[in-house]
């Protein structure tokens, strides 16, 4: 599998507090050949962890696609 490069932007739906986790909307997009956009709603302790989880989900989803391999 070729390397999957992705970026993310996080919007706070409900901020985290010391007693509760936050609710975030994470938009993730990749670079060719994985140039898709996905939006995930993620519960996390903070926006950084939400972004990491969004990218993890995107990479997992893109890894399951049967795309042609990039030439080095």
pTM of the entire structure? Answer: 0.87
Check: CB of residue 4 under 8 Å from CB of residue 30.
yes
Q: What count of Cα atoms within 13 Å lies in the side-chain half-sphere of residue 2?
A: 15
Residue 28 to residues 5, 36, 47, 49, 54, Cα–Cα distance (Å): 10, 8, 13, 14, 7
Q: Of 30, 31, 34, which Cα lies nearest the Cα of 55? A: 30
pLDDT in tens, 49-59: 999 999 999 99
pLDDT band at 72 (very low <50, low <70, confident <90, very high): low
């Amino acid at each position: 599998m070729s390397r999957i490069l992705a970026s993310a932007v996080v919007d706070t739906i409900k901020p985290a507090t010391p007693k509760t986790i936050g609710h975030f909307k994470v938009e993730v997009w990749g670079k060719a050949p994985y140039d898709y956009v996905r939006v995930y709603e993620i519960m996390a302790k903070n926006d950084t962890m939400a972004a990491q989880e969004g990218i993890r989900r995107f990479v997992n989803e893109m890894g399951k696609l049967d795309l042609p391999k990039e030439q080095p």
